[in-house]
Amino acid sequence: MTGYLLSRLRQMVPVLFGVVTVVFLLIHLIPGDPVEIMLGESALAAQKEELRRELRLDRPVVVQYGEFLLGLAKGDLGTSFRSREPVLREILRRVPATLLLSAASMVVALLIAVPLGVLSAMRQHSVVDHLSGFLAMLGLSMPNFWLGPLLILIFSIGLGLFPVSGYGTAGHLVLPALTMGAGMAAILMRMLRSSLLEEIRQDYVRAACARGLSRRDAVLRHALANSLIPVLTVMGLQFGALLSGSIITETIFSWPGIGRLTIQAIEARDYPLVQGCILFIALCTVIVNLLTDLLYSRLDPRIRYE
């Protein structure tokens, strides 16, 4: 297990290095000058040059990239152009809100996907199966930037049940979590149904039924645990999608998380802050994928990492 962990940690380094490099190049190549955004187009040329020297933007891109990597090796993500605060401090300030929203979205997805997925598999070709398939297609067809405003129109403006936007209470969490969890629920539901259908046909399920267990108990006690391995894989992959999807959802609902901070940094051409936010999302995705692989051995004792 130790050797496997060290191997995976070594593989993380080039992945994160590639993400950092691509983001650094893209953010410097897109149109827009952070100095003009901060001072305005009416500022004097001398003022712009002075601020550019202060932000170290007057140096060649290669030199800026080298300085960024050197600071990254020391755990320094730089200083935000906009707030003049350390990037790491700004990111850590927004992490709890993003983690709360991601966890709530995952809970919503599981509460929808697991019951419907199990019912669809146990009652294949029934009305429940067809209805869950329709709901899954509907969930996959609705992007966050469309579903979020729709939920606001119905439940906030129309019915007045939840706040339109903001952060701080359980009511503020409901609509953003539904927006992000709907698409994931659709994917997990279809994956669980497909995996469980394969397990139900296995001999050990028939043997459990022959020993006196009801079909429902045989499925829930034995087949369900084995069918969760591919579902767990999708959940690990979808966690990265949750973080990237939070960029849209947090902007719609004014949720003070990493996603909204990323949008604000891009609009302000705040190079260090953009790089720090994307690096955080990539790091979380890689770590979750590693934890997902480690959980395989808990669900299936036959899996061992040497």
pLDDT of 242 above 80: no
pLDDT of 167 above 80: yes
Encoded tokens for 57:
């933007």
Q: Look at residue 152 in the predicted model and tell me its pLDDT.
A: 92
Q: Look at residue 306 in the predicted model and tell me its pLDDT.
A: 54
Digit-coded pLDDT (tens) for 87-100? 889 999 998 998 89
Indicate the pLDDT class of residue 245, thresholds 50, 70 and 90. Answer: low
DSSP conformation letters of 190-254 = HHHHHHHHHHHTSHHHHHHHHTT--HHHHIIIIIHHHHHHHHHHHHHHHHHHHHHHHHHHHHHTT
Indicate the pLDDT class of residue 4, thresholds 50, 70 and 90. Answer: low
Strand-pairing partners, residue 86, are: 79
* Second CATH level (architecture) for the domain 87-299: Orthogonal Bundle (1.10)
Give percent of the chain above pLDDT 90.
5
Q: Compute the average pLDDT of residues 212-235.
A: 78
pLDDT of 25 above 80: yes
Domain ranges of the chain: 2-73, 87-299
Q: Compute the average pLDDT of residues 137-159.
A: 87
What stretches of the chain adopt beta strand conformation (E)? Answer: none
Q: Look at residue 153 in the predicted model and tell me its pLDDT.
A: 92
Q: Look at residue 80 in the predicted model and tell me its pLDDT.
A: 86
Indicate the pLDDT class of residue 304, thresholds 50, 70 and 90. Answer: low
Indicate the pLDDT class of residue 216, thresholds 50, 70 and 90. Answer: confident
Encoded tokens for 302:
């036959």
Digit-coded pLDDT (tens) for 252-274? 898 888 888 888 888 888 888 88
Encoded tokens for 25:
């190049």
Instruction: Tell me the whole-structure pTM to 2 decimals.
Output: 0.81
